A and B are shown apart, each in its own frame.
Chain A
Amino acid sequence: MTRSSDDRSFRIGTGAFAALVLLIVAGIAFELTRQSTLSIAKFGLKFWTTKVWDPVSGDFGALPFIWGTLYSSVLALLVATPIALGIAIFISELSPRMLRQPLAYLTELLAAIPSIVYGLWGIFVLVPIVRKVEIAMGAKPALGVGMLAAALILAVMVIPFTSSVAREILKNVPATQREAAYALGATRWEAIKVAIGFGRTGIIGAVMLGFGRALGETMAVTMVIGNSPQISASLFKPQYTMAAVIANEFTEAADELYLHALIEIGLLLFIITVGVNLLSRLLIWSTKRRAQTIVVIPVIVAEEVPA
């Protein structure tokens, strides 16, 4: 074999692995669709928009779960984003050099905690605190479990992802940008704002990464959200998410239609996650075209649903 043909086989080999990724994604979409045909045929698009979830009479609508997933994720994002960016700014710009590594390591450690452990912490610590708040506010019934507890636990789980990506982005902003600001009489805070402005597309990406995480998170949310399919803007009412209903009911799905309805929820979650991904990429791409800033496009991963 000649050396140049080595190059060719190397290219073909690695190319095959790359193609495998596409194949897996397409395969997931195909399989989810194939295994939910009964439900798709029976409910059609109404599956997205109806609120009834009645396994006994075989009537299924996914809206409460879609609502619960999106609402809890958006709330988590609202709580997590400022905190995560604050952590990223502190570590990359302000903290004493000695503290930098340990702090970065500790935030990343948050991401390594298994989600079932978060769930236990939620049940034993967070839920009683939320219940006390509810009682103090006169909310009825004061259960503790519900949307607020879920959003808070999601926020804690999302923070390490958003803050590490944001930190990396701030670190990659060229020193010349900060120098330019300082040389024009900028204060420390003003120079940091310049760095944030320079990395803004990447920071948007970091926030979207957190959103993707929150959408697919299953275990911890299932343990604290209350698992009741209802659509409500209330922070205290128990609700349900797409991932949670699959995890809870999959093993109990006795008849075919029930099973297919659950798998269709998985398909919806897949579509929504891909949609959010595309949307964030479009967003990043359009800001990038306006100003050529550094761009880090993180992959948004929804945690796989245990089946």
Chain B
Amino acid sequence: MNDDPKISVRDFDFFYGAAKVLHGISLDIPARKVTALIGPSGCGKSTFIRSINRMNDIITDARGKGTILIDGTDVYGSDTDVVELRRRVGMVFQKSNPFPKSIYDNVAYGLRIGGMRNKRQLDDIIERSLTRAALWHEVKDRLHASALALSGGQQQRLCIARALAVDPEILLMDEPASALDPIATSKIEELIYELKDNYTIVIVTHNMQQAARVSDRTAFFMLGRLVEEGDKNTIFTNPKEKMTEDYVTGRFG
């Protein structure tokens, strides 16, 4: 890595009440690359990704300790505006969660709460976002139809378009394809590949083939600790840790 990391995590712990679920995570995430977080269920990778845009704040009794810097600014700093942070750091969830509104209104939501009212401006951004999410051609004739009439894969791409519309720098994806069939999954993966030119992407995945296909760097989590991270090829073919090797070769997990 020659540039400064986009996201820099140092000694980050996370607690749900008294239970410590992340132990001293330190990790640098490069800009405009795809970083995949892998590991068995309950290893803390989802908790970690949700710490980056402070989505865990809405859970009572949850708190983080340590630092997560984005472009050198502490996410957990006392003067951080969470609303502003979440507009810079978009998120796509495991289960697609469109609002029960039209396709157009879904993508427009983030823009409208941000105060944008100009119809032409909205139209432009909505078209661009849907195009980037590889959905425009499928929906351009029915933008005002309900988003819930779309297929599962289309709904997930709509959620990606909705996240892109507010122009984030970072895109967090929490198992974005785990509820989709193989064809819809491959569309999402192609999309991730195209998006990394413009966005820093962090993706949590259960699926090791997926991590191998889409990521540039891979981080392996286990029992709330970061076991190993590095270039994708190193992690999958020549890991330093025995535990990583056992996991990526399918010996457990």
B: contact size bracket: 20 to 34
> B95, B100, B162: which contacts A184 (Cβ < 8 A)?
B162
Stretch at the interface among B30-38, B86-94, B182-190, B191-199: B86-94
Distance between Cα atoms of A88 and B225 in the complex (Å): 41
Is there a chain B Cβ closer than 8 Å to A8's Cβ? no
Is there a chain B Cβ closer than 8 Å to A186's Cβ? yes
Stretch at the interface among B52-60, B133-141, B201-209: B52-60
**Could you say which residues of chain B place their CB within 8 Å of the CB of A186?**
83, 113
- In contact, A292 and B148 (Cβ under 8 angstroms): yes
**B16-55 vs A: 1/0 string, CB under 8 Å?**
0000000000000000000000000000000000000101
**Could you say which residues of chain B place their CB within 8 Å of the CB of A281?**
none
Tell me the count of chain A residues lying within 8 A, CB to CB, of chain B.
Answer: 22
Distance between Cα atoms of A184 and B108 in the complex (Å): 11
Distance between Cα atoms of A293 and B99 in the complex (Å): 9
- In contact, B83 and A185 (Cβ under 8 angstroms): yes
**Could you say which residues of chain A place their CB within 8 Å of the CB of B159?**
180
- In contact, A197 and B101 (Cβ under 8 angstroms): yes
- In contact, A179 and B87 (Cβ under 8 angstroms): no
**Could you say which residues of chain B place their CB within 8 Å of the CB of A182?**
55, 58, 86
Is there a chain A Cβ closer than 8 Å to B114's Cβ? yes
**A192-214 vs B: 1/0 string, CB under 8 Å?**
00100110000000000000000
B21 to chain A, nearest CB (A): 18
Q: How many A-B residue pairs have CB under 8 A?
A: 68
Distance between Cα atoms of A194 and B110 in the complex (Å): 12
Is there a chain A Cβ closer than 8 Å to B84's Cβ? yes
- In contact, B148 and A291 (Cβ under 8 angstroms): yes
**Could you say which residues of chain A place their CB within 8 Å of the CB of B55?**
179, 182-183
| Contacts of B55-89 to chain A: CB distance below 8 A | 55, 58, 60, 83-84, 86-87
**Could you say which residues of chain A place their CB within 8 Å of the CB of B226?**
none
Distance between Cα atoms of A152 and B238 in the complex (Å): 76
- In contact, B166 and A184 (Cβ under 8 angstroms): yes
**B127-163 vs A: 1/0 string, CB under 8 Å?**
0000000000000000000101000000000010011
With A184-B87, A184-B162, A184-B166 in contact, is A97–B100 under 8 Å at CB?
A: no
Is there a chain B Cβ closer than 8 Å to A187's Cβ? yes
- In contact, B86 and A185 (Cβ under 8 angstroms): yes
Distance between Cα atoms of A238 and B155 in the complex (Å): 57
B27 to chain A, nearest CB (A): 21
With A176-B95, A290-B146 in contact, is A183–B113 under 8 Å at CB?
A: no
Interface of A is mostly: helix
- In contact, B97 and A197 (Cβ under 8 angstroms): no
Distance between Cα atoms of A180 and B91 in the complex (Å): 8
**Apart from A182-B55, A185-B83, A197-B101: 19 A-B pairs, beta carbons within 8 A:** A180-B93, A180-B159, A180-B162, A182-B58, A183-B55, A183-B86, A184-B90, A185-B86, A185-B87, A185-B110, A186-B83, A186-B113, A190-B113, A197-B100, A198-B99, A198-B100, A291-B146, A292-B148, A293-B100
**Could you say which residues of chain A place their CB within 8 Å of the CB of B100?**
197-198, 291-293
> A187, A190, A291: which contacts B101 (Cβ < 8 A)?
A291
Distance between Cα atoms of A198 and B98 in the complex (Å): 10
Is there a chain A Cβ closer than 8 Å to B109's Cβ? yes
Pull 29 A–B residue pairs with CB atoms less than 8 Å apart, ordered by A: A97-B60, A174-B97, A176-B95, A176-B97, A177-B97, A178-B58, A179-B91, A179-B97, A180-B93, A180-B99, A180-B159, A180-B162, A182-B55, A182-B58, A183-B55, A183-B163, A184-B86, A184-B87, A184-B113, A184-B162, A185-B113, A186-B83, A194-B99, A197-B100, A198-B100, A290-B146, A291-B146, A292-B100, A292-B148
Distance between Cα atoms of A290 and B100 in the complex (Å): 9
**A97-114 vs B: 1/0 string, CB under 8 Å?**
100000000000000000
- In contact, B99 and A185 (Cβ under 8 angstroms): no
Q: Which residue of B lies closest to A191 (CB)?
A: B58
Q: Which residue of A lies closest to B114 (CB)?
A: A185
B100 to chain A, nearest CB (A): 4
With A292-B100, A293-B100 in contact, is A183–B58 under 8 Å at CB?
A: no
Distance between Cα atoms of A178 and B97 in the complex (Å): 9
Distance between Cα atoms of A218 and B129 in the complex (Å): 58
